[in-house]
Amino acid sequence: MTMCSASTWEGNEMSLLQVEAINVCYGLSKVLHDVSLKIETGELVALVGRNGVGKSTTMRAIMGITPPASGKILWKGQPITRRPSHLNARAGLGYVPEERRIFGSLTVWENLDVARLPPREGLEPWTEDRVFALFPDLERFRNRPGGLLSGGQQQMLTIARTLMGNPELILLDEPSEGVAPLIVAQIGEKIRELRDAGVSIIMAEQNLDFVLNLSDRCYVLEKGVVVYHGTAAELRDNKDVQNRYLHI
Amino acid sequence: MFANPMILFIQVMNSLSLAMNLFIIAAGLTLIFGVLRIVNFAHGAFYMVGAYVALSILRVTGDSNLGFLLGVLGAGALMGAMAFVVERGLLSRLYDKEHMLQLLFTFALVLVIKDLVKMIWGSGQYSIGAPPFLRGAVNLGISPYPKYALFLCVMGPIIAVAIWFFMERTRWGRILRAAREDRVMLNALGTDVKLVYSGVFVTGAALAAMGGALAAPRSAVDPGMDSLVIIDAFIIVIIGGLGSLLGSFVGALILGFLTVMGSIYLKEWVIVASYVMMVVILLVRPWGLFGKADEERH
Ligand SMILES: Nc1ncnc2c1ncn2[C@@H]1O[C@H](COP(=O)(O)OP(=O)(O)OP(=O)(O)O)[C@@H](O)[C@H]1O
Ligand SMILES: [Mg+2]
């Protein structure tokens, strides 16, 4: 277990993604304070914390949607701080937003089609067929407008859509939010499959059991500050941190 | 009232040809609104520029079929290039600002373009002849009818189907529809949305200019020609539903028939009639015949 503040990693070897002491503001209110984290290739890292602590903001900052006021973001060692999000997507970052943001008037297939990016070296390319094999429900509804899908189906579609960009790293914001318990388990399965397929994942979650089952390492956020960081096993045993920052 | 089927036939054809002429303008207007959410007051001015550019090209090439084709395409190309500069240089800075600024900007554009047109071409009235192969009349069975007006009747549906095909059946069209719904998300999926916006504005402007060039043989080319057409175009997209292509098509038909038939049967009341029709339609369907209630946008 380590208490984590700005830039305390051991060694200098290049990570897949490194976030170094970023600060993000909405207008005059600052919501992230010197947030630092990193992820290695193949890892599944979780961002946990209660409502409004800045999990989504961290993801939007990495993606370039809400650029940080200060701090650095490195992708394979190269600075990508404040780079427009379409360039980040083309470089291999995938973003699955909490609100899902399906294109409601486009069909399932059209939602996938607009997100298509060229294959990436070293990764098996994602095609409709491969995406449908992962989410068979979507294939049945391939000609249905995205806006008419159920919550769980929309959640699958938003993940599937991001996969069409052949991401090396997926920023997965609250995949279990607002879906039925049975579907949550299914989505957990899919996330495990993705990670086995070699995709690195940063996942924001409030559902602690879900996180502890799936992730390798966890960062705990509280009011825009990283207050704890450790392996999933360490966090599982640390009732103190759980009580202080996670339970309601 | 409908004593003579031949006269009625000609009136119907005139309505259709006016409707299709107006549709070509309204299509660009509704395309720009649909994706960029900008009400482009300068659309009529783009139309006017198209007519003048075609005029100048025809002066160089001389009166010929090829000259006419070059005039129409040249009008679209030149206006498109100008629209690109305006969008990249100025308009793109206003997307995140309030709507009033965007309205003021496109209105300012109207004034600037009108003065430029007067400086370059003067205030006189010009006319453009129809291309040689579309001069004279063709016998349609019931009655002879001017070839050029018939040509416009045919061009309208062709352009409508082309735009529909582009929007519904091509990947670019799908991207435009996605941009209309959520541009931030589309951007995060790897599409350069700024480029999409430029493309839409340029295409809309080029459509307006080609519409102006196509309309020139059946109306006068003068510095006031934009005002008439922009009012009609706005009536069409408002009754059809802002952003809806099908709405613009139906709206253009309604206004075309109302204008032609109205001027015969309603006489001077025709001007009032189009506004009354707009009010009635908006009372029944506030977002127009084929429009959608304003959905939430990110
Ligand atoms: N667009 C915005 N404008 C202003 N403040 C915002 C905006 N988005 C988020 N905030 C604020 O920033 C803080 C962090 O929000 P964020 O959405 O990142 O939290 P979160 O950890 O993802 O929460 P949740 O679990 O509810 O998704 C909150 O206090 C929130 O109210
Ligand atoms: Mg969130």
CATH of the domain at A48: 3.40.50.300
Per-residue pLDDT at A4 = 40
Distance CA B248, CA B252 (A): 6
From the list B171, B175, B188, the residue facing A85 with the nearest CB is B188
pLDDT at residue B295 is higher than 80 = no
Residue A59 has pLDDT above 80, yes or no: yes
User: Which pLDDT value is given to residue A8?
Assistant: 44
A188 belongs to a structural domain: no
> Which residues in chain B have their CB less than 8 angstroms from residue A154's CB?
none
| Distance separating alpha carbons of residues A137 and B214, to the nearest angstrom | 50
C-alpha A152/C-alpha B17 separation (Å) is 50
Structure confidence at residue B105 as a pLDDT band (50, 70, 90): very high
Tell whether A33 is covered by a domain.
Answer: yes
A239 has a chain B CB within 8 A of its CB: no
Identity of residue B184: V
Chain B residues with CB under 8 Å of A162 CB are 189
> What value does the mean pLDDT of chain B take?
91
Q: Tell which atom from ligand 1 comes closest to the C-alpha of A60.
A: 18
Euclidean distance between CA atoms B88 and B82, whole angstroms: 10
Output the pLDDT for position B7: 86
β-partners of residue A48 are A205, A220
Q: Tell me, in angstroms, the distance from the centre of ligand 1 to residue A227's CA.
A: 17
Distance CA A154, CA A165 (A): 17
Tell how strand A93-96 and strand A217-222 pair up: unpaired
Q: Which domain holds residue B130?
A: 25-225
Q: Is the pLDDT of residue B211 over 60?
A: yes
Nearest chain A alpha carbon to B187 = A86
Calculate the CA dihedral of residues B19, B25, B28, B34 and round it to 10 degrees.
-60
Per-residue pLDDT, B67: 94
Residue B109 falls inside a structural domain: yes
| Cβ–Cβ contact B191 with A under 8 A | yes
Q: Give the count of domains, chain A.
A: 1
Does A104 touch chain B if contact means CB atoms closer than 8 Å? Answer: yes
The residue among A218, A190, A186, A223 whose CA lies nearest residue A205 is A218
Instruction: Read off the pLDDT of each residue in A194-204 and give the average, rounded to a whole number.
Output: 94
Q: Could you tell me if residue A180 is inside a domain?
A: no
Given a cut of 80, whether residue A186 has pLDDT beyond it is yes
DSSP codes, B201-215: HHHHHHHHHHHHHHH
Answer whether A53 contacts ligand 1 (Cβ < 6 A). yes
The residues, ordered by sequence, that sit 6+ positions from B179 with a Cβ below 8 Å of its Cβ are B35, B186, B191, B193, B196, B197, B200
B103 located within any domain? yes
Answer yes or no: is the C-beta of A98 below 6 A from any ligand 1 atom.
Answer: yes
- Which residues contact residue A182 at a Cβ distance below 8 angstroms, ignoring those fewer than 6 apart? none
Measured in angstroms, the CA of B280 and the nearest CA of chain A are apart by 29
Residues B235-254: what's their mean pLDDT?
93
pLDDT-above-90 percentage for chain A: 81
Q: Which of A28, A55, A59, A203 to mutate to test the pocket of ligand 1 (most atoms within 8 A of CB)?
A: A55
Angle between helices B5-36 and B43-61 (to 10 degrees): 110
Whether residue B287 is contained in a domain is answered as no
Does the beta-carbon distance from B182 to A63 stay under 8 Å? Answer: no
How many domains does chain B contain in total? 1
Q: Give domain status of residue A56, yes or no.
A: yes
A169 domain-assigned: no
Contact A103 B171 (CB under 8 A): no
- Note the pLDDT tens digit of each residue in B14-50: 999 999 999 999 999 999 998 998 989 999 999 999 9
- Beta carbon of A146 within 6 Å of any ligand 1 atom: no
This prediction has a pTM of 0.89
- Indicate whether B277 pLDDT > 70: yes
A207 lines ligand 1 (CB under 6 A): no
| In a domain? residue A112 | no
Q: Which amino acid is at B118?
A: K
* Structural domain for A221, as ranges: 1-92+206-248
Among residues B201, B284, B207, the alpha carbon closest in space to that of B239 is found at B284
pLDDT at site B141 = 83
| B5, pLDDT greater than 60 | yes
Instruction: Tell me, using a 6 A CB cutoff, whether residue A97 lines ligand 1.
Output: no
- A23, A32, A48, A56: residue to mutate for ligand 1 pocket, most atoms within 8 A of CB: A56
CA A100 to ligand 2 center in whole angstroms = 11
Residue B296 Cα, gap to closest chain A Cα (Å): 11
Is the beta carbon of A176 within 6 A of some atom in ligand 1?
A: no
| B141 within a domain of the structure (yes/no) | yes
A84-90 average pLDDT score: 98
Report CA(A203)–ligand 2 centroid distance (Å).
11
In a domain, B7, yes or no: no
Q: Please compute the mean of the pLDDT values over residues A194-206 and round it to a whole number.
A: 94
Q: Is some CB atom of chain B closer than 8 A to the CB atom of A100?
A: no
Amino acid identity of B157?
A: P
Res A41: pLDDT:
95
Yes or no, beta carbons of A101 and B185 under 8 Å apart: yes
Distance between CA A204 and CA A171 in Å, rounded? 8
Q: Calculate ∠ Cα B191-B193-B199, nearest 5°.
A: 110
